[in-house]
Amino acid sequence: MRRRTFLQHAAAAAALPLVPGAAGAAAGAAAGAAVDAGVRGTSGSPGRAPLRVNAERLNGWLARFDSIGRTSGGINRVAYSEADLAGRAFTLDLFRQAGLTPRIDAAGNIFGRVAGTDPARKPILIGSHVDSVTDGGNYDGPVGSFAAIEVARSLQEQGVRLRHPVDVVVWQNEEGGTVGSMLAVGALKDGDLDRVARSGKTLREGIALCGGDVTRLSEAVLQRGDLACYMELHIEQGGLLERAGLQIGVVQGIVGIRWFEVTIDGFANHAGATPMDQRQDAMLAAAKYTVAVNDAIRGEPGRQVGTVGRLVATPNTTNVIPQRVVLTIDLRDLEQAKIDRFTATFERLGREIGAATDTRFAFRQTSNNAPAIADARVQGWIDASAAALGLTRQRMPSGAGHDAQEIAHVAPMGMIFVPSVGGISHSPREFTKPEDVAHGANVLLNAVIAADA
């Protein structure tokens, strides 16, 4: 560990509260045997130990939640469906049991608060979502939502009084395009509310079903400065942590996504009568281009990903040289500059391959979402908390979208990842081990405490 890193860790560990009896210290020391790539968990100075949530209770909630919306195809709690509303009712009960008097904002998001001791402090916001995709699993969303409720309950039960209020949020309709969190940052227009969600309900109808009020949406909008920070625990949904044998991902940000449609024009001609050296074969150009895109992405270090995912040939017939191919590229990275650089590379490769194959390439950018970078201090609190708990970890980007990317527009944001078994998500086989759920919730708890310092 470099000295500067150590000092950051030490400072954050020192921010953890004194725990009478330090019952957690022994557990922390035992777990401290876990070591990751050169970063050993600092367990803080004597007498200071990380707190722990009631993991059994948290995993019990998840187990009970599994029966809501469970069908033969998997979990079906698509936003605004009967099952989603039943899931929200279950969640509201958990808020009440935790002493969090739930409030539903005009956008249909659920909020509950643990009061702080300093009325001048802005809330630390933690949470996730409880809706699912079609035929999904029980962990994407509920892990972070229920862990946030459990953190709030643990703080109260363990008598930890923080200066900041701690707000727990459950965003509505994450899987339909981060609807609740977009509404919370004022990113949806009135016309967007007529969009039809997977349940068949419009967003407008859905907001009403969730207990919101479309005529008062502006009241649900958070402004920059309204929050101290936002932290979200989530399953990784990929297999990087599992493959590396690590327990916690400290998310550096949510990748930016840029989509292109590339149209390659050649010339349709007879597949038997046209000599091989006299062709303008759009399919051949597309094949070379697909390989070139892959080579470019893999040709430099980093976590960037690029995918040619769709290829439509015309006339798409056995005995005709393809006249036209329309293909798509999906490009993702945490760094905007790198996304811009690869965009230029893809265009250059098109010109080169077009010249070599006597075809013409035309580019159209069809979608562009900027990266959402996790706040450096929030990452530090998460990392230091994992260290204090003796958990192995790594910094990593999120390749999937989350509510956190929206809230990053108005507040310092951070995310905690826990491993997905087999890297599987959005599937009935989605699973995160109870001990990993516990680790994630413990990190969230201590990160909240660190954020209060």
Chain positions contacting Zn ion, by CB under 5 A: 140-141
Complex with Zn ion: residue 36 or 140, whichever CB lies closer:
140
Q: What is the DSSP string of 35-75?
A: B-SS-BPP--STTB------HHHHHHHHHHHTTTTEETTEE
* Nearest Cα residue to 157 out of 254, 52, 282, 62: 52
Structure token pair of residue 367 = 């979608």
Q: How far is the CB of 70 from Zn ion (least distance, A)?
A: 18
Complex with Zn ion: residue 140 or 333, whichever CB lies closer:
140
User: What residue type is 130 in one-letter code?
Assistant: V
* Distance, CA of 308 to CA of 288 (rounded, Å): 12
Q: Could you give the dihedral angle defined by the CA atoms of residues 92, 127, 59 and 133, in that order, rounded to the nearest 10 degrees?
A: 80
Structure token pair of residue 349 = 């490769």
Q: How far is the CB of 79 from Zn ion (least distance, A)?
A: 12
Q: How far is the CB of 141 from Zn ion (least distance, A)?
A: 4
Distance of CA 317 to the CA centre of its chain: 42
Q: How far is the CB of 425 from Zn ion (least distance, A)?
A: 8
Complex with Zn ion: residue 284 or 444, whichever CB lies closer:
444
Q: What is the DSSP string of 141-203?
A: THHHHHHHHHHHHHHHHTT---SS-EEEEEES-STTTSHHHHHHTT---GGGGGPBPTTS-BH
* Distance, CA of 365 to CA of 290 (rounded, Å): 17
* Distance, CA of 229 to CA of 381 (rounded, Å): 11
For residues 152 and 114, is the Cβ–Cβ distance under 8 A?
yes
User: What are residue 324's DSSP bridge partners?
Assistant: 265, 314
Complex with Zn ion: residue 139 or 346, whichever CB lies closer:
139
Q: How far is the CB of 129 from Zn ion (least distance, A)?
A: 6
Q: How far is the CB of 435 from Zn ion (least distance, A)?
A: 21
* Distance, CA of 303 to CA of 287 (rounded, Å): 24
Q: How far is the CB of 170 from Zn ion (least distance, A)?
A: 12
Q: How far is the CB of 314 from Zn ion (least distance, A)?
A: 38
